[in-house]
Structure 1
Amino acid sequence: MTPHIHDVVTRLLEAAGERRRFIVALAGPPAAGKSFLSSWLCRELDARQAGCAAVVPMDGYHFDNAVLEPRGHLPIKGAPETFDAEGLRCDLERLKRADREVAVPVFDRPLDLARAGGRLITTEHRIVIVEGNYLLLDEGPWPALRDAFDFSLFLEVPDEVLEARLIERWLEMGQDQAGAIERTRHKDMLNARLINTRSVAADLHWVASD
């Protein structure tokens, strides 16, 4: 059963207590609604304790196309190996210390690139929600991230809903119908299945139906 947003916020605030920094991992497949849910949680947390929450999107740690192309990874951009997992781990360590502001990168989807220093996480942000596909993946470099997380949430969405959302996303980005279907079924949904089958259990699962 999907918890109510206010119950999740209460649980996070109670778990965070008086800690200087409480880091939440919000994971799930592409187009599951991670950005929407993380922003919603941030707004609700701030409504209870003004200025206490911030969001760090994992998408900001995409390798640039100039790095991916020589490696032959541009066609699979979005797969686990196309992210700077080590860079994210280092930033999580800095965030965990909560002793100074930390600049984090933010992905600009229309430009298809990450903007360095696109967002500042200050010492006033006690609760930091890190959202991304592979945060709980149990292979490669990703398990090294988990020591930084104080709480984890996994967003579950049926495959047919994900596929419809992803096709619509590609269409909005200028792909034709055939190209949108091809990218969705032979790229994004492969990543989605990896995430759904190889992620460790989260503290809380949020199940969405549409």
Structure 2
Amino acid sequence: MEAQIIQLAKEIVEAYHRKPTDRRLLVAIAGYVLAPPSEGPPDCSSPPGCGKSTIAYPLVSRVNALLGGDEAAICISLDGWHYSRAELDRMPDPVEAHWRRGAAFTFDLPSYRRFLQQLVLPISEAPPKLPFPTFDHALKDPLPSPTPLLPVHRIVLVEGLYTCLDINGWEDCAGLMDLRIWVDVDRETARRRVISRNFAAGISESLEKCAERVDGNDMDNGEFVRSHRMQPTHVVVSVDELPN
């Protein structure tokens, strides 16, 4: 996927140079299916499934390198906007909410939308330090990021399953993005990746239990997003790398 990352980085830099100097370039990176943080400890900065974050973070590094080492580009994960477990407990059906953690309704959409609305303001009018949440794997809940978004961060990549969703208020967020990158993968490859990595992360005690959860939640989320995505500006195909 290296060639795809290189080409994407070039196009992001070109779009960045076309923006006024007091505006940020916003880039959404979404994909077919991702394992949610759920009740287990997987690294939400590298969620399994479509390979989305396999692209997002190398892409940030490549963009910054093309800009001469400037730290203008930053990647933020939508996972920080998961509702906490305590908030899930207060939902009408807390059992379903915990089981479906990772579905669109288990995210704090109003808070996420307010954050993006600040990003589209002229930098001179936005707060000089913009806080945002991250996901704490030890607590299995979101926490404030230790470092805020700064004026120097003029290219913001937001990676997450629902960043290109076109319904139920999410379309307002997707519409604020300058670029929308969709990371595609076939269903069976996504399923295999999620089951394997969920098992490695200890979310379930057996591959069979992992498969049950993936088939009953993650794959449905992926199909939902595929069917309700805003038109992407770029499509990247995620493939398994061949061993050397």
TM-score between both structures, scaled by the size of structure 1: 0.93
Q: Does residue 32 in structure 1 map to residue 50 in structure 2?
A: yes
1:158 offset after TM fit, Å? 0.9
Aligned to 1:65: 85
Q: Does residue 80 in structure 1 map to residue 104 in structure 2?
A: yes
Aligned to 2:42: none
1:56 offset after TM fit, Å? 1.2
Which deviates more, 162-171 or 105-114? Answer: 105-114
Amino acid at match of 1:197: S
Aligned to 2:60: 42
Aligned to 2:231: 201
**Native 8 Å contact 1:105 1:119 kept in 2:** no
Select the structure that is richer in helix: 1
SS in 2 for 1:129: strand
**Native 8 Å contact 1:167 1:181 kept in 2:** yes
1:2 offset after TM fit, Å? 9.7
Amino acid at match of 2:7: D
**Native 8 Å contact 1:54 1:129 kept in 2:** yes
Structure 1 stretches of at least 4 aligned residues deviating more than 4 Å after TM superposition: none
Select the structure that is richer in strand: 1
Structure 2 portions without partners, runs of 5+: 35-48
Q: Distance in 2 between matches of 1:172 and 1:7?
A: 32
RMSD: 1.8
Q: Distance in 2 between matches of 1:21 and 1:195?
A: 26
Aligned to 1:180: 210
**Native 8 Å contact 1:35 1:131 kept in 2:** yes
Amino acid at match of 1:84: D
**Native 8 Å contact 2:16 2:25 kept in 1:** yes
Structure 1 portions without partners, runs of 5+: none
Report the identity percentage: 28
Amino acid at match of 2:76: V
Amino acid at match of 2:160: G
SS in 1 for 2:90: helix
CA 1:158–1:109 in structure 2 vs 1: closer, same or farther (change >3 Å)?
farther
TM-score between both structures, scaled by the size of structure 2: 0.81
SS in 2 for 1:4: helix
